[in-house]
Amino acid sequence: MGEGSGIPARLGILPFRNKVLLPGAIVRVECTSASSVKLVEQELWQKEEKGLIGVLPVRDGGSGLSLGTDSEDPSLNASEDVLDFPKRDDGSEEEPIRWHNRGVAARALHLSRGVEKPNGKVTYSVVLEGVCRISVQKLSAAGTYCLGDVSHLDMTRPDIEKAEKDPDIMLLSHQFKAAALQLISVLEKKQKAIGRAKSLVETVPVHRLADIFVASFEISFEEQLSVLDCVDLKARILKATELVGRHLQSIRVAEKITQKVEGQLSKSQKEFLLRQQMRAIRDELGDGEDDEDDVVALERKVQTAGMPPNVSKQAQKELRRLQRMQPQQPGYNSSHAYLELLADLPWQKASEECVLNLEVAKERLDCEHYGLTKVKQRIIEYLAVHKLKPDAQGPVLCFVGPPGVGKTSLASSIATALNRKFVRISLGGVKDEADIRGHRRTYIGSMPGRLIEGLRRAGVHNPVILLDEIDKVGADISGDPASALLEVLDPQQNKAFTDHYLNVPFDLSKVIFVATANEAQPIPPPLLDRMEVIELAGYTPEEKLKIAMHHLVPGVLERHGLNSDLLKIPKEIVMLIIQHYTREAGVRNLERNLSAIARAVAVRVAEKEYGAQLCNNVQPMTSSFLNAHCGCGVELEMDDISMVDRRTIPNALKNNSKIVLDEVMLEKVLGPPKFDDRETAERVATPGVSVGLVWTPFGGDVQFIEATAMAGKGHLHLTGQLGDVIKESAQIALTWVRARTTDPIDAGNINLLDGQDIHIHFPAGAVPKDGPSAGVTLVTSLVSLFSRKNVRADTAMTGEVSLRGLVLAVGGIKDKVLAAHRYGIKRVIIPERNLKDLVEVPSSILVDVEVLFAKRIEDVLEQAFEGGNPWKQQSRL
Ligand SMILES: Nc1ncnc2c1ncn2[C@@H]1O[C@H](COP(=O)(O)OP(=O)(O)OP(=O)(O)O)[C@@H](O)[C@H]1O
């Protein structure tokens, strides 16, 4: 027999519960049960030579698993043993035990007997080494333990030698050894005690090495059994390679997981440590608490801001960044400011809209604004649509008109009617797209755009936002703000408006936008296309008077701590202010003048108040009285005078101190009248001056045109604030006049233009002018110059002239007539085609201003000069 040739045919059997001893493996067994003690005593202790026993794996019968590869022999179940290894700790000793029919013959390497207990029991500790595989054919009882009829199972030495030369086995054993070495190196890295493992691999023959290696792993009972059952060498090496590989794999996976966990742990631990240190340093410096609280407060704010998930994610990311930073670190402040903005923005908050009552809204509009019937009607329509369909994407209302006509206050009234917050964003002079859309955060000093800033101020996401002076938006190399506004006003796009600074979309669709402009023409067409233009013209003096008496005066008095008991401003005086201190389309300057008066009166009232206090606190005494009493050493007795309550002063002054504003006081406060009707007469006193009516963003205005001639080469000189169009207009006017003054027939009379330079000046104060009008006025001025006849001082004109002498229609007739009225001009010549526009002019104005019509320039000249066209007789004009 080969390796196991010394195995006897019968061996005492030691059962191993749910455990396998493999050949080459060494185990220590504590024998405490009666059967195992008996077995050890009989088979090992009492024998002189170290004996052999059989070790058979057993498992609890309840599992129902088939044990062993051979068919089960009923006789194998005949005996039952009480196990002492491994110990049964579940108290199920009585359960049936099923023996495996293959086991290992084991040699006792060491035996020791425990101290005898008082009850006479002894125990043994045995170190066993597996020798070879055995097969158990039969079990029989020998007292309390079992004896088994066994036969040797492993290969014989010649078989092994032969097998070792088999190329397959050689290859397999090579693979196995490689895997084993790999495992050893992994274990080495983990600094596990691997002892002689490496030399074992090199020296021990592979058929033993497979068993030894497998025995050193913690593998399941089934796997141990399967190795035990691998009698065939090839199968055993394969199995062992598989198990070594698996073990290696599991170690690596475990290592990876550990590394990951350790990495995370150490990172957070490191962070924690650093934080602690940071806090300690800050405490030491005495400036820590605020910052800490600040970040914590910010975190709380971010959490309660109601951000949508994507925004919240971004905020959390930024917050983590901020938490890792020192307040002194660059970027801390910008990160903090960014998070503040994110937390402040009204992602969820909205103004509670009250049920809209159109009657109330109408009353409110009427109460806050005088006149403006059509505009108010349109606003009511807008509100009605909003009431029926709150999410309707109606047009953006754009109020267009001169300054001070109530555009802003109308927009604010819309917000009041809807019970929404009102935000005014001034777009005047905005040239950079970043003003609307914000700067990217990469820029130093970057800020959000005005819209996002406005929403932050509003604190709700559904305010009424007034885009004030939308016509003043410009464009330069920094981009075109108008195109950004296009996105803002487009209901399709503004749902996800992205400010560059914010870098996350914000929904603007709930915002109601209203715009204002002084003129519609500069607004880029695509932007204008998204808006509904509502024009507001200037006011007549009567309208201004009513606005002043009902709205401006009460407001001004209130703002200056006055009331109508202290200051009375009569109608007539207000009218004087309108006529002689203002010359505007709106009421802004009127309000300013009224404020100046109120301030002056406030000073007087305050002085009186102080005087009254003095009077009431100090008993007035004459010096003779004082001298008389003090001089003779008599103690002075004073009456106890009660203090006058400050609030009673106005009442005290009520009857005798009411200030009524009169002309004298008006002049004292506002100075001498700034405007009077004589201005026109004075200016047209010399030939060559005519009075035109023009339309400007400030409403209608009067434009004086002065022409003069001098020796030269027939050139035309133009001065004043002029645009290209009016330059053309001047050229046309001159050509028209020249064409009619160089008539060969009349040449003798009108050779004035030959060898003369003409200088036309649009005097200072003239409004920047680039419209196509003023042609008629230019011709009249030239005719006045050449005929040396003055234009009528009470007459102003408007209209464009064609080369063929036709007077062409112009716009803004209402504003122009109003402007003429402001200047005290009594006659206005307008193109015949503008007749229809007169319906807009209030009749109160038409009572004062006579409107004349002209079809051809001859009609204008006929009406503009006293006694008709001055060149009628001299030329073909
Ligand atoms: N019809 C009116 N009734 C009552 N008050 C008016 C009326 N029109 C203007 N006002 C008052 O005149 C002042 C100026 O008006 P507002 O600021 O609305 O003018 P605006 O047209 O917006 O001017 P700007 O173009 O300069 O912004 C405000 O106090 C406003 O209440």
Question: Which DSSP string corresponds to 503-562?
Answer: -SEE--TTPEEEEEES-STTS-HHHHHTEEEEE--PPPHHHHHHHIIIIIHHHHHHHTT-
State which ligand 1 atom lies nearest to the alpha carbon of 550: 4
Mean pLDDT of 143-167: 81
Cα dihedral angle (782, 786, 792, 793), rounded to 10 degrees? 70
Question: Is residue 538 within 6 Å of ligand 1 at its C-beta?
Answer: no
User: Given pLDDT bands bounded at 50, 70 and 90, which one contains residue 828?
Assistant: very high
Ligand 1 mean position, distance from CA 531 (Å): 21
Q: Which of 711, 721, 752 is nearest to 734 (CA)?
A: 752
Ligand 1, atom 25: closest residue by C-alpha: 403
State which ligand 1 atom lies nearest to the alpha carbon of 543: 1
Mean pLDDT of 435-447: 85
Ligand 1 mean position, distance from CA 228 (Å): 103
Mean pLDDT of 432-459: 87
Please give the distance of CA 512 from its chain centroid, rounded to a whole number: 19
pLDDT in tens, 707-732: 888 887 778 888 877 777 778 888 88
Ligand 1, atom 30: closest residue by C-alpha: 406
* 249-258 CB contacts, 8 Å cutoff, 24+ apart: 251/183, 251/186, 251/187, 251/190, 252/186, 255/190
Q: 154-158, 217-221, 649-653 — which is least confidently predicted?
A: 649-653
**406 marked as binding residue:** yes
Q: Which of 386, 330, 369, 395 is nearest to 528 (CA)?
A: 395
**Whether the predicted pLDDT of 466 surpasses 90:** yes
The answer to whether 596 and 686 are in contact (CB under 8 A) is: no
Catalytic-residue membership of 816: yes
Ligand 1, atom 5: closest residue by C-alpha: 369
Catalytic residue among 239, 376, 769, 816: 816
pLDDT at 625: 32
Secondary structure letter of residue 43 according to DSSP = I
**74 marked as binding residue:** no
d(CA 211, CA 206): 9
d(CA 225, CA 206): 19
Ligand 1, residues 369, 370, 398, 405: which to mutate, most atoms within 8 A of Cβ? 405
Question: Is residue 591 within 6 Å of ligand 1 at its C-beta?
Answer: yes
Ligand 1, atom 6: closest residue by C-alpha: 406
**Whether the predicted pLDDT of 515 surpasses 90:** yes
State which ligand 1 atom lies nearest to the alpha carbon of 399: 21
Ligand 1, atom 24: closest residue by C-alpha: 403
Question: Is residue 789 within 6 Å of ligand 1 at its C-beta?
Answer: no
**Whether the predicted pLDDT of 769 surpasses 60:** no
**Whether the predicted pLDDT of 516 surpasses 90:** yes
Ligand 1 mean position, distance from CA 554 (Å): 15
Bridge partners (DSSP) of residue 58 are 17, 99
Q: Which of 135, 469, 501 is nearest to 342 (CA)?
A: 501
**Whether the predicted pLDDT of 760 surpasses 80:** yes
Of 776 and 85, which is predicted with more confidence? Answer: 776
Mean pLDDT of 383-400: 82
Q: With a threshold of 0.90, tell me whether the complex ipTM lies above it.
A: yes
pLDDT in tens, 226-252: 888 888 888 888 888 888 888 888 888
Bridge partners (DSSP) of residue 57 are 16
Ligand 1 mean position, distance from CA 404 (Å): 4
pLDDT at 257: 78
pLDDT in tens, 63-80: 333 333 333 333 333 333
d(CA 399, CA 516): 5
User: Which helix (DSSP H) or strand (DSSP E) does residue 852 occupy?
Assistant: strand 850-854
Catalytic-residue membership of 571: no
d(CA 62, CA 308): 59
Q: What is the pTM of this model?
A: 0.59
Ligand 1 mean position, distance from CA 587 (Å): 7
Ligand 1 mean position, distance from CA 487 (Å): 29
Report angle CA 269, 275, 280 to the nearest 5 degrees.
Answer: 130
Question: Is residue 404 within 6 Å of ligand 1 at its C-beta?
Answer: yes
Catalytic residue among 35, 36, 773, 781: 773
Secondary structure letter of residue 460 according to DSSP = S
Question: Is residue 587 within 6 Å of ligand 1 at its C-beta?
Answer: yes
Q: Which of 448, 373, 365 is nearest to 413 (CA)?
A: 365
What's the maximum distance between 2 C-alpha atoms anywhere in the chain? 166
**19 marked as binding residue:** no
First to last CA, the chain: 150
Ligand 1, residues 588, 591, 592, 594: which to mutate, most atoms within 8 A of Cβ? 588
**404 marked as binding residue:** yes
The answer to whether 369 and 413 are in contact (CB under 8 A) is: yes
Ligand 1, atom 2: closest residue by C-alpha: 369
The answer to whether 23 and 154 are in contact (CB under 8 A) is: yes
pLDDT at 399: 92
d(CA 514, CA 379): 11
Q: What is the mean pLDDT of the chain?
A: 78
Interstrand relation of 800-801 and 807-808 (parallel, antiparallel or unpaired):
antiparallel
Q: In 3-state terms, the chain is what percent helix, strand and coil (to 5)?
A: 45, 20, 35
**405 marked as binding residue:** yes
The answer to whether 70 and 37 are in contact (CB under 8 A) is: no
d(CA 625, CA 608): 26
Q: 33-37, 198-202, 813-817, 869-873 — which is least confidently predicted?
A: 869-873
d(CA 830, CA 808): 9
**408 marked as binding residue:** yes
Q: Percentage of residues in the chain with pLDDT exceeding 70?
A: 82
The answer to whether 705 and 760 are in contact (CB under 8 A) is: yes
Tokens of 48: 């002189």
- Can you give the C-alpha Rg of the chain in angstroms? 55
The answer to whether 55 and 104 are in contact (CB under 8 A) is: yes
Ligand 1, residues 375, 400, 409, 539: which to mutate, most atoms within 8 A of Cβ? 409
User: Which helix (DSSP H) or strand (DSSP E) does residue 335 occupy?
Assistant: helix 332-344
Residues 6+ apart with CB under 8 A from 132: 3, 4, 7, 23, 104, 105, 152, 153, 154
Q: 295-304, 686-695, 750-759 — which is least confidently predicted?
A: 750-759
Question: Is residue 376 within 6 Å of ligand 1 at its C-beta?
Answer: no
Question: Is residue 409 within 6 Å of ligand 1 at its C-beta?
Answer: yes
Bridge partners (DSSP) of residue 797 are 692, 829
Ligand 1, atom 10: closest residue by C-alpha: 406
State which ligand 1 atom lies nearest to the alpha carbon of 371: 1
pLDDT at 617: 44
Of 3 and 807, which is predicted with more confidence? Answer: 807
pLDDT at 264: 65
Interstrand relation of 659-660 and 464-468 (parallel, antiparallel or unpaired):
unpaired
The answer to whether 796 and 763 are in contact (CB under 8 A) is: no
Mean pLDDT of 158-170: 80
Q: 285-294, 350-359, 787-796 — which is least confidently predicted?
A: 285-294
Buried residues in 816-829 as b, exposed as e (16+ CB within 10 A)? bbbbbbbbbbbbbb
Mean pLDDT of 343-359: 82
Ligand 1 mean position, distance from CA 407 (Å): 6
Which amino acid type is present at position 743? D
d(CA 379, CA 388): 14
**Whether the predicted pLDDT of 354 surpasses 90:** no
Give helix 206-215 / helix 167-189 axis angle, nearest 10°. Answer: 40
Q: Which of 506, 418, 513 is nearest to 456 (CA)?
A: 506
Residues 6+ apart with CB under 8 A from 636: 626, 629, 630
pLDDT at 829: 93
The answer to whether 700 and 586 are in contact (CB under 8 A) is: no
Buried residues in 329-357 as b, exposed as e (16+ CB within 10 A)? eeebebbbebbebbbebbbeeebeeeebe
Q: Percentage of residues in the chain with pLDDT exceeding 90?
A: 6
**401 marked as binding residue:** yes
**390 marked as binding residue:** no
Cα dihedral angle (671, 672, 673, 675), rounded to 10 degrees? -100
